[in-house]
Structure 1
Amino acid sequence: MDIRQLRYFQEIVAQGSLTRAAESLHVAQPALSLHLKNMEEQLGTRLLTRSRSGVTPTEAGDLLLQRARTILEDLARTEDDIRNLEADPSGVVRIGLPGTISATVSLPLILAARERFPRITLNIREAMSGFVGDWLSEGKVDLAVLYSRSKDKRILSELLLEEELVVLWPGEAGCLPVMSLGDLEKVPMVLPSGAHGLRVLIDSEFQALGFAPEIAMEIDSFNNIKRLVAAGFGPSILPLYAVTEEVAAGTLCVSRIAAPGLWRGAHLMSPGGRPVTRAVEAVHTVLRDVILDLRDSGAWAASRPPQ
């Protein structure tokens, strides 16, 4: 096998389809199929299972994919280090962020990275926390900021801040400045679905009080949650920084949760146990600095250092 075959195989698995991989790689599909056939013959085993929905790696394919990622990342780091021994780091750095964090972090991160490392290109991908965590474990992103530590023991994690969660109500109805979570028992609420990290936290807090949340509606978009609360479908629980504009405009009212309150952490995560490029190391530092500055300046509203 050679490096090109490893790159081709990695892209086939990422795309889940020979056709899509051929388009992404700008390679004729018959040529890509031949490369795959040659690899399977060299290794003496099938690497992919084919179905109508596409291709998935076999057990041997999964092993090859893991090793291929390590080899290709090590090669990229080596090439980058040699090219940039006397220059600023360069290359593409992929960052995974949940949508709410991205709304706060992306612009100041892009501006800071451009100023400090103009030869680095950022590729920022947004999704729910669970998807972002999977991307990091699978090597599809280089860095991530998530609300909980990864279950993958290979992932390094640093808790940078804690953000306050509050109860939302329609603005015209008014609300108590402070309330307990127990006051929400049997109150129909607008909440994210069970797959959402915030919902997992809410369910856990309610369970500790001896009840489950009453559901009026489940929806994973924070913007839609805010609209539904404002329209009177029921209260919700979101980070305070995510609703500051609506509170200022009077469309939403917030109740803080009685001491000790309800907080969740933001963790900066990076892969451990495998080499990373100088560009990734540089962006890791910039991303950390940006988040700490947002916390300490108050731009990340209602956040605090880890307690």
Structure 2
Amino acid sequence: MTLRQLRYFVEIARTRSITHAAQSLGVAQPALSTHIAALESELGVRLFERHAKGVELSEAGERLYARALELISGFDNLKRDVNQTEDSPVGKVRLCIGGAIAAIVAPPLLRSMAERYPLVDLHVTDALSHEIQMQLEAGVAELALMPNAAEIPGMSSVSVLEEPFMLFGASELMRDKPSLVPFADVAGLPLAAPDRAYDARKVIERVAANAGLTLDIRYELNSTGMLIGVVKEGLAYAVLPSNLCHEAVATGALARRAIDALPVTRVQAIVWLSDRALTPAAAAVKDQLAQTVRVLVAKGRLEGRAV
């Protein structure tokens, strides 16, 4: 398999026509057909379905098309990535942010990156903490902003935010709650929480164990939307990071109270694989992300303490 064959394959897939692809590539149609036949023979699959109006990708062709685009893009960017410097970073960087603060952090980060590093192509996604770990390990993301990264082996990290947990409940149920609720009282409330694979659950379970208490978990919900929905309906309370429910609190659907306990907090950190050196572009994103978090904390848009 050669890069030339992949380029030919991608152009045929794009134009849906061997004739049009041959014209745009400046290659004789029989030669183009020969290259594709050799590629199909090596892979042992049919990549195109031929018909009177042209060609369509087969199921195997659809799978190859996505990977071929990545490989060609990576090859085309190779020289640029090797020659970039810390002063002029260039290239694509994929960042994954834990869902609780992604909507707060991503917009100002994208704006500042576009202003300071216009040649860095930053792609931002959000996910839950255990999903982020898998993305980093698989190389799907170069960087992440996620909680309690120190517990994950094989990762380097820089802590940027310590955020508190608070008690959330339906507004009418929270009216009689004091401004500072003892953790022993929280443990006695019916709670909704994600399962034990999730960081938010681990934090409150750890605090409960240290205090010799058992939590009354009535609902295990791994969807933030469902969890907030159950709390809004008054079916349960929730102990969650303070930055998670801004919109619901702002609209009055939920109310919140501080918790009087051993520190119920978690640390958000910028994370990357220890055995993979950051490119200048990824390093620029890391530094700008840390600065963005500091600014958001100073402006009161992120709750917690900048680390």
C-alpha distance 36-206 of structure 1, shift in aligned 2 (>3 A): farther
- Which residue does 1:137 correspond to in 2? 137
- Which residue does 2:299 correspond to in 1? 297
Per-residue deviation, residues 53-94 of structure 1 (Å, max 9, x unmatched): xxxxxxxxxxxxxxxxxxx99996664232x46983222100
1:80 and 1:251 mapped to 2: Cα distance? 48
1:158 and 1:123 mapped to 2: Cα distance? 20
SS in 2 for 1:194: coil
Deviation for aligned residue 1:138: 2.5
Provide the TM-score with structure 2 as the length reference: 0.71
1:86 and 1:281 mapped to 2: Cα distance? 8
Answer whether contact 1:77 1:276 (CA < 8 A) is retained. no
1:287 and 1:297 mapped to 2: Cα distance? 15
2:247 and 2:104 mapped to 1: Cα distance? 13
Gaps of 5+ in 2: 7-12, 17-34, 46-72
Q: Aligned match of 2:265 in 263, 266, 269?
A: 263
Q: Quick check: 263-272 or 152-161, which moved more?
A: 152-161
2:121 and 2:224 mapped to 1: Cα distance? 28
SS in 1 for 2:196: coil
For 1:92-171, what aligned pairs fall within 5 Å after superposition?
Answer: 92-171=92-171
For 2:103, the aligned partner's letter is A
For 1:191-202, what aligned pairs fall within 5 Å after superposition?
Answer: 191-202=193-204
Per-residue deviation, residues 195-223 of structure 1 (Å, max 9, x unmatched): 21111112222222223322221212223
**CA RMSD, Structure 1 to Structure 2 (Å):** 3.5
For 1:127-276, what aligned pairs fall within 5 Å after superposition?
Answer: 127-173=127-173, 174=175, 175-276=177-278
SS in 2 for 1:228: helix
Answer whether contact 2:100 2:243 (CA < 8 A) is retained. no
Aligned pair count reads 255
Q: Which has the larger radius of gyration?
A: 2
2:155 and 2:76 mapped to 1: Cα distance? 21
Provide the TM-score with structure 1 as the length reference: 0.71
C-alpha distance 88-189 of structure 1, shift in aligned 2 (>3 A): same
Answer whether contact 1:172 1:250 (CA < 8 A) is retained. no
C-alpha distance 86-285 of structure 1, shift in aligned 2 (>3 A): closer
1:214 and 1:167 mapped to 2: Cα distance? 14
- Which residue does 1:67 correspond to in 2? none
Gaps of 5+ in 1: 8-22, 38-71
- Which residue does 2:286 correspond to in 1? 284
Q: Aligned match of 1:31 in 27, 39, 43?
A: 39
C-alpha distance 213-78 of structure 1, shift in aligned 2 (>3 A): farther
Per-residue deviation, residues 265-307 of structure 1 (Å, max 9, x unmatched): 1011123333332211221111111112112222102x1134x
